[in-house]
Amino acid sequence: MKLRYLGTAAYEGVPAPFCRCRVCRGSFRAGGRALRSRTQALVNDDLLLDFNADTVCHSLMYRISFDNVRDCLITHSHSDHLYPMDLEILSDPISHEHPPLHFYAGEDGYNKIANEIGLHRMEERAQVTLVRHGDEFRTAGGYRVLALRANHTKETTPLFYAVERDGKRLLYAHDTGVFPEEDYALLKAFGRFDLISLDCTGCLGLDWDWRNGHMSLKTNLEVMERLRAEGIADEKTVFVAAHFSHNGGQTHDEMVPEMAKHGILVAYDGMELSF
Ligand SMILES: [Zn+2]
Ligand SMILES: [Zn+2]
Ligand SMILES: [Zn+2]
C-alpha cells in the first residue's frame, strides 16, 4: 500500500495568509517542507482521503490527474476537509470518461455532497454513501473500511478511518483529539496496523493540553501507548504526525528532532510512504 500526503496543514495553511507570527515568518523564509497546504492524502492511486479546497491545486502540484480515483472518504465537513462546491468539476461533460466517484461521509458531509449532486443533476457522475461510526464497509474500489468516532466538533459529524487492502492496514486519524474509548475495541477487532497517521495540530504541545478536538506530540504519545498496549500497533508500526497549525508553535525543522526521539515521522506535503 502507498500513502501520499498531498497536504498536511490545518485550515489556515502554514504559513497562514495575513499572519506574521514566528512560525509563519520562519516557514516563509525556510520554504520547502515548511510550506503546507490543507490536509488531503491519496492511498495508492485510487482512494482519496478528503476533498478540500486544495484538491485542484494538489492535482496540479503533483501532476496527479486523479484519473484512477474511484473512492473518497470524507472525515468531516470542515472546509479544510470538504469543499463541496468543487464537486461541480465532476459534472462537466468533458470529464464524463471518468467512472463515477464514490464519496463516503458522516451526516453533515453527506448532506452537503448530496445537495451538490442534486443541484448539478450529476447522479451518474458522483454518488455518496452515509456512514456512521462503527460502520464497516467495502468501497467501490475494493477497500475494506472501518469508520471510527472522532473526538472533534460534533456539528461536522466527525469520523476517522481504518483502511485495509491486500492484508495491509492504514489508520488515518485526522481531525481528532485523544480517541473515544469505544474506538479501541473496534480497532482491535479490525487488526494490527502497518501505518498510523495521527492528528498533530498542536505540534509539540508545549503550551496547551491539545486533548479534545485535536492532538499534539504529548497526546499522540498517550494514544500510541494505548494502541501498543491493545496490540493495535507494534514495534513495526510506522507512526506519522500530520495536520499542523501555526497555533502549535513550531516549524517543520523544529519538530523533526523532537518527534524522532519517539520514532514519529513528521509529514510534509508530497511525502510518500510505502508499506
Ligand atoms: Zn482539519
Ligand atoms: Zn502564523
Ligand atoms: Zn476539523
Ordered by where they begin, the domains of the chain are: 2-274 (3.60.15.10)
For ion ligand 3, residues whose CB falls within 5 Å: 78, 175
For the chain, 275 residues long, give each residue's pLDDT as a single digit of tens.
999 999 999 999 999 999 999 999 999 999 999 999 999 999 999 999 999 999 999 999 999 989 899 999 999 999 999 999 999 998 877 766 778 999 999 999 999 999 999 999 999 899 999 999 999 999 999 999 999 999 999 999 999 999 999 999 999 999 999 999 999 999 999 999 999 999 999 999 998 889 999 999 999 999 999 999 999 999 999 999 999 999 999 999 999 999 999 999 999 999 999 99
Q: Which residue is it, cell 452537503?
A: 112
The Cα 267–Cα 86 span in angstroms is 26
For ion ligand 2, residues whose CB falls within 5 Å: 16, 19, 21, 24, 246
Helices 252-260 and 22-30: angle between axes, nearest 10 degrees: 90
- Residue 99 CB coordination number (10 Å): 13
Give the contacts of 124 (CB within 8 A, at least 6 positions apart).
100
Q: What's the pTM value of the predicted model, to 2 decimals?
A: 0.97
Q: Which residue is it, cell 514566528?
A: 22
Under DSSP, the state recorded for 135 is -
The Cα 62–Cα 85 span in angstroms is 22
CA of 253 to the centre of ligand 2 (A): 16
Closest ligand relative to 40 C-alpha: 1
Per DSSP, the three-state class of 42 is: strand
CA of 136 to the centre of ligand 3 (A): 22
Which grid coordinates belong to 80? 479544510
Closest ligand relative to 17 C-alpha: 2
